[in-house]
Chains A and B, each alone.
Chain A
Amino acid sequence: DIQMTQSPSSVSASVGDRVTITCRASQDISRWLAWYQQKPGKAPKLLMYDASTLQSGVPSRFSGSGSGTDFTLTITRLQPEDFATYYCQQANSIPFTFGPGTKVDIK
């Protein structure tokens, strides 16, 4: 199985800040990576797929990059509604696996 790790596990930030989250796969997954946002008590929401393609309706302040084993999710100009937990997921092979999550909270 492909193991996914994320760093940091949590980050405190202010509205307007730039936040970068890193995701690493235990083996090469090319660009088969997706990012999700989850708010407390809610289902996850797909933000990005193919490592850097924004899902329809997702604001352009979210961006992704990377390929192979190392990926990043960047949120520029953090907004109040962006405080949430973010997960990466590899879509390269079954079983699909998620990272442990990165919680972005208010400083």
Chain B
Amino acid sequence: EVQLVESGGGLVKPGGSLRLSCEASGFTFSNYGMNWVRQAPGKGLEWVSGLSGSSSYIYYADAVKGRFTISRDNAKKSLYLQMNSLRAEDTAVYYCARKGPYYYDNSGNYRLFDAFEMWGQGTTVTVSS
């Protein structure tokens, strides 16, 4: 079965750290860029970070730059998010998401669309004293 399963969420005090994990199954993990997207309670979706299949390209939202670190282990088919210096505003459900889909454009070129075609069920992070 093709799926993403997140873990590692929990309650942490402001200034604390947490490491999220996302385990992939059912597809060739190393072929896909992966991302973290979060959703604060009752709010919309916010892209947090992403990296390419080989980890050559890594990107962060300004809100987390310098505090969060994204990484992956293709042998373990796993994605990680190390979150340090956590703040109350980091409270959210964190989803890992596979970038895609690949498609043929009108010129017949095989391209990657930078959407999020597959999502995990999410893991909840609460930052509170």
Interface residues of A (CB under 8 A from B): 32, 34, 36, 38, 42-46, 49-50, 53, 55-56, 87, 89, 91, 94-101
A95 touches B95 (CB 8 A): no
Known: A94-B59, A95-B62, A98-B44. A43 touches B119 (CB 8 A): yes
Query: Nearest chain A CB to B73's CB is how many angstroms away?
Result: 23
Docked complex: B102-124 residues within 8 A CB-CB of A: 103, 105, 113-122
A-B contact pairs, 7 of them (CB 8 A): A38-B45, A43-B119, A43-B120, A43-B122, A49-B117, A89-B116, A98-B46
Given contacts A44-B119, A55-B101, contact A87 B45 (CB under 8 A): yes
B113 lies within 8 A of A50 (CB): yes
Residue in contact with B115 in the complex, picked from A34, A56, A94, CB distance below 8 Å: A34
**Total number of B residues with any Cβ neighbor in A under 8 Å:** 24
Report if A91-B113 is in contact (Cβ < 8 Å); known contacts: A96-B47, A98-B47: yes
**B88 in contact (CB, < 8 A):** no
**How many angstroms between the C-alpha atoms of A49 and B114 in the bound complex?**
9
- Contact check, B62 vs A46: say whether CB atoms are below 8 A apart: no
Contact B113 A34 (CB under 8 A): yes
Q: Chain B interface (Cβ within 8 Å of chain A)?
A: 35, 37, 44-47, 50, 59, 61-62, 95, 101, 103, 105, 113-122
List residues of chain B with CB within 8 A of the CB of A89: 45, 115-116
Are A99's CB and B115's CB within 8 A? no
Instruction: Check B61 against A95 for contact (C-beta < 8 Å).
Output: yes
Q: Which of A46, A55, A96 has the most CB of B within 10 A?
A: A96
A95 touching B45, Cβ below 8 Å: no
A101 to nearest B CB, angstroms?
A: 5
Contacts of B45 in A (CB 8 A): 36, 38, 44, 87, 89, 98, 101
